[in-house]
Every structure is written in structure tokens, then in C-alpha cells.
């Protein structure tokens, strides 16, 4: 078999895209709650438009999402039926610390996640927990400017102390920040950053990134001290950048684009700022406030494994005449004429996953964990909620085969694979429900209508077979 016997098959969700219950159990308001669906969504995501609370003009899909807050037992039972070995989920920071800067946590929030983890363990499912999947309590945004403030390091440290101690023995796999490189592309959605006229936006983003990197090192330190069995990973939005042509300028453009993404993981995995990043910041006039203590923390507390999301490769060029922009998980890219596209314009490149895995493994020589991969598509259910989603099966089978080749033929050390949106949930990029990824259909539309009833798609039984055969049988 290509995959290890203890390979961690499963699926992924994020609290702000599935949980709902935004005002229940003592939970506070978070940045991810106030990002609406519609034409204003992107300007809020990027921090250009301020939205600190709800209004009557917009619909906010994260308020209820798919209401996993009240349905987690049913959902986890369905995951167990598929044979999940792991379930990647995230904690809503404002459920544990409603404002973010309190001394004492919210017991009701702590108990909720304890119950969720125990429900997973009941079925032999290992929780893989993202500490911050874009969430930042709105009080920290308004009172401190979110991650632009060094004070957030201490608040995050307090969160980590609480959860590592409370969930010792229930959780062994942790991720510090989801898609940490997204702070450069979606600063409000990714880190609660917003901008006023006259702000030096790049300076703010890189300073905030430094604070997150130090916080990540502190989290890694605490996790290992509380329980030596804990494994801590970093997480990036991955996808190798191809040069559009073999013109050296295009090759260099692709290398620079890769640098922008790997910069964060270089720090988290190698323990220091790479020379190319320091020189770029010097050229751009960006001066990071970092202390000798920061640098020591980064050096001494690197992550145990590298996790990443993969949806598509990207293409870089210096020739604006050749650019035909295509969307892809916030990142803009030139269009690759050799690839097909999803209904949302994301280019489908299974071999790109193998290439990306090789690039990352060659760079770090640490175990990898693919924690997001999937196809967003419009599903049309029959009267029973059943969806014939052969297109999703085909997409996943091709990507799992590429992943298998990377392990079997290239010798890459891979811990596990969790598909994105194992149950239909709210899209982070667009806020839509109709952009579905799951093996489980949820009866809900873009504007909150529907019964929230869960039903199995065709891909449900297919993935169950894939897990049962440890990836050996990918046939439809």
C-alpha cells in the first residue's frame, strides 16, 4: 500500500463556515461574522470597507451557517459512518474568550468543544484542531487594531494555555493559524485588519504577520510543554506557481510568487526570516518591530509538520498582454490554457498537487499533511436530497491518485488527507451555500432558506470505500 497503516483520512470544516450559534453560549462577535454576502463582501474581506457590526442592508451567512452548533452529533456520526480517522475543525476564539482580552475563559464555550472532541473520540476519530481559522474577536479588532497590535500575542497565548490544558488527551494534532499567508491577500477576513486613509498597508500587514508568527512559536512551545504527545503544524494556502513561458523573466516571476507564500512557512519551519524576505522588506521600506526574544522564540519552537490547502496551481508572467485573470482561493493568476476550470473559474490540476507536494517536501523535509482539497460545485439534489456528484468523485479520485504517486513514487512522508467542506458549508470566498464541496448535502440556500436537513450524496459511499481500502480503490 502507498499510504501508511495509520494514515489519517478525513474531512475539514471551519467554525465560522459551519458552526452558527454566533450569539449563543456566551460567544462574542468576531470579524468572520460581519463579512456579508454580496457585492460588498470582497471590500470587507480585504479591509478596504469597514464593517464592525451587522446592518439591515446585508445578509451575514456565518450567523447561522449550517447550525453545526446544534447538529454536531448528527454530523460527526455521519463522518464516522464514512470511516473518518480524523476530523479537522477549528475553534471560534470568541466562543472561548468572547472579547478576547479577558483573564478567564467562558466555561460554556470550553464545554461545547470538549463535548465535540469527546463525540469524535467516541467513534475513534482524532480531532485535528485549527486554533485560529481566520477568527478574531471584534473587541480586539476595535480596541487594539487586531493583529497590528503586539498585545494580541499575549491574548493568543492565554487562549493557547487554556485550550492545551483543558483538552489534553482529547486533542493531539494542532494547527496554529489557517492559511497564514492569506493575511497578505484577505487581511480583514484573515486577521481582522482594516485600513484607514493614509495607512501604510504593506507595513501593517507584515507587522501583523510577524505578530502571528511569534504567537505561532509560543503556541508550539506551550503545546509541547503541556503534552509531549502534541504535534503542531503550520498551514499555508499552497499551489506552485508555474511560469507562463520559459522566458527567464516569467520563471523569475513564478519564483517571486512562490517566495511570497513560502516566507511564512520558512519562518515557522526553519525558525528564522529568509534572506529574500528581509531584502524585499528593506527595498519596500518595511521595518518590522521585532525583539531578540521574538527571534529566539521563532528559532527554538518550529513546527512538527507542514499542512496546506491545495485547490489549484497558479501561473505567473511579467507580460500584461498574456494575462487572462482567473479566480482561485483569493489568489489571482494568469490562466493556464492546458487546464479545465470549475464552475467558479478555479483551474483543475491534479498533477499540480504532486508537484506542490514535492516542492514543499524538498524545501522542508518535514512530514506533510494535506488538510484542504476539494471541488466547489452546484449540486442538484433529487426529491430525497440525493446528489449524483460524479464530477466531485472524478476530481477527488484524480487528486488522491496524484497524492498517492507523490508518496509511492517520490517518497514523500504524508500524515493524512482531509477534504475541504466534507459537509456543505458557507464559502469563505463568496459567502455562498450553492458553492458546495461536501459528501453530505445540507438543505440551505445562499440567503438562509431551507430546512438544514442533511442527506448523503453519491460521493459519501465512494469516499467511505476509499478510506476502507486505504486509498487503494478509487473507482467510481
Catalytic residue among 272, 372, 383, 408: 372
| 440-442/454-456 β-pairing | antiparallel
Which sign, positive or negative, has the C-alpha torsion 378, 379, 383, 385?
negative
197 counts as catalytic: no
The SS3 of residue 242 is: strand
Kind and range of the H or E run holding 264: helix 248-270
Residues contacting residue 411 through CB under 8 Å, at least 6 positions apart: none
Residue 392 CA, chain-centre distance (Å), reads 20
Query: Could you count the other beta carbons within 10 Å of the beta carbon of residue 448?
Result: 15
Distance CA 412, CA 200 (A): 41
Distance CA 136, CA 134 (A): 7
Phi, psi dihedral angles at 279 (to 5 degrees): -70, -35
Distance CA 9, CA 156 (A): 29
| CB-side neighbour CA atoms (13 Å) of 15 | 29
> What is the DSSP secondary structure assignment for residue 345, as one 8-state letter?
S
Which sign, positive or negative, has the C-alpha torsion 64, 100, 206, 309?
negative
Three-state SS sequence of 139-203: HHHHHHCHHHCCHHHHHHHHHHHHHHHHCECCECEEEEECCHHHHHCCHHHHHCCCCCCCCCHHH
Residues contacting residue 292 through CB under 8 Å, at least 6 positions apart: none
Distance CA 379, CA 135 (A): 28
H-only helix segments in 46-150: 68-82, 93-96, 107-122, 138-144
Closest C-alpha among 205, 210, 209, 225 to residue 301: 225
Distance CA 219, CA 191 (A): 17
By annotation, the residues acting in catalysis are: 372
Amino acid at each position: 500500500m502507498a499510504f501508511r497503516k495509520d494514515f489519517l483520512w478525513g474531512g475539514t470544516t471551519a467554525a465560522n463556515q459551519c458552526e452558527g450559534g454566533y450569539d449563543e453560549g456566551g460567544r462574542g462577535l468576531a470579524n468572520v461574522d460581519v463579512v456579508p454576502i454580496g457585492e460588498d463582501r470582497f471590500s470587507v474581506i480585504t479591509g478596504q470597507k469597514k464593517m464592525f457590526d451587522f446592518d439591515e442592508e446585508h445578509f451575514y451567512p456565518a450567523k447561522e451557517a449550517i447550525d453545526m452548533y446544534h447538529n454536531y452529533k448528527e454530523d460527526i456520526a455521519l463522518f464516522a459512518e464514512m470511516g473518518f480517522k480524523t476530523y479537522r475543525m477549528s475553534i471560534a476564539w470568541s466562543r472561548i474568550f468572547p472579547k478576547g482580552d479577558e483573564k478567564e475563559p467562558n466555561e460554556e464555550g470550553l464545554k461545547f468543544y470538549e463535548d465535540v472532541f469527546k463525540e469524535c473520540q467516541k467513534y475513534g476519530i482524532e480531532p485535528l484542531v485549527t486554533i485560529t481559522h481566520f477568527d478574531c474577536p471584534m473587541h480586539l479588532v476595535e480596541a487594539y487594531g487586531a493583529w497590528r497590535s503586539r498585545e494580541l500575542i499575549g491574548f493568543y497565548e492565554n487562549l493557547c494555555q487554556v485550550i492545551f490544558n483543558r483538552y489534553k488527551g482529547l486533542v493531539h494534532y494542532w494547527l496554529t493559524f489557517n492559511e497564514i499567508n492569506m493575511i497578505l491577500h484577505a487581511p480583514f477576513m484573515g486577521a481582522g485588519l482594516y485600513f484607514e486613509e493614509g495607512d501604510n498597508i504593506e507595513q501593517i500587514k507584515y507587522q501583523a504577520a510577524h505578530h502571528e508568527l511569534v504567537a505561532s512559536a509560543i503556541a508550539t512551545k506551550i503545546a509541547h510543554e503541556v503534552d509531549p504527545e502534541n504535534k503542531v503544524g503550520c498551514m499555508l494556502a499552497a499551489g506552485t506557481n508555474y511560469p507562463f513561458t520559459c522566458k527567464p523573466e516569467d520563471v523569475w516571476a513564478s519564483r517571486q510568487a512562490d517566495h511570497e507564500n513560502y516566507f511564512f512557512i520558512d519562518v515557522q519551519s526553519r525558525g528564522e526570516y529568509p534572506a529574500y524576505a528581509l531584502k524585499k522588506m528593506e527595498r519596500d521600506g518595511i521595518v518590522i518591530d521585532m525583539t531578540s526574544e521574538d527571534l529566539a522564540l521563532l528559532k527554538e519552537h518550529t513546527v512538527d509538520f507542514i499542512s496546506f490547502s491545495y485547490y489549484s496551481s497558479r501561473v505567473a508572467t511579467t507580460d500584461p498582454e498574456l494575462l487572462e485573470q482567473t479566480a482561485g482561493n483569493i489568489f489571482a493568476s494568469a490562466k493556464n490554457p492546458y487546464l479545465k476550470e470549475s464552475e467558479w473559474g478555479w483551474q483543475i490540476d491534479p498533477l499540480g498537487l504532486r508537484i506542490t507536494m514535492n516542492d514543499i517536501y524538498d524545501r522542508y523535509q518535514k512530514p506533510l499533511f494535506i488538510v484542504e482539497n476539494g471541488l466547489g460545485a452546484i449540486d442538484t439534489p433529487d426529491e430525497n436530497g440525493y446528489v449524483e456528484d460524479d464530477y466531485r468523485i472524478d476530481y477527488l479520485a484524480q487528486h488522491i491518485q496524484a497524492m498517492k504517486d507523490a508518496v509511492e513514487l517520490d517518497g514523500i512522508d504524508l500524515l493524512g488527507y482531509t477534504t475541504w467542506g466534507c459537509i456543505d458549508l458557507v464559502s469563505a470566498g463568496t459567502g455562498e451555500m450553492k458553492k458546495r464541496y461536501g459528501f453530505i448535502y445540507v438543505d440551505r440556500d445562499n440567503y438562509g432558506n431551507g430546512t438544514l436537513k442533511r442527506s448523503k450524496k453519491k460521493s459519501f459511499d465512494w469516499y467511505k470505500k476509499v478510506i476502507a481500502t486505504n486509498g487503494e480503490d478509487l473507482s467510481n
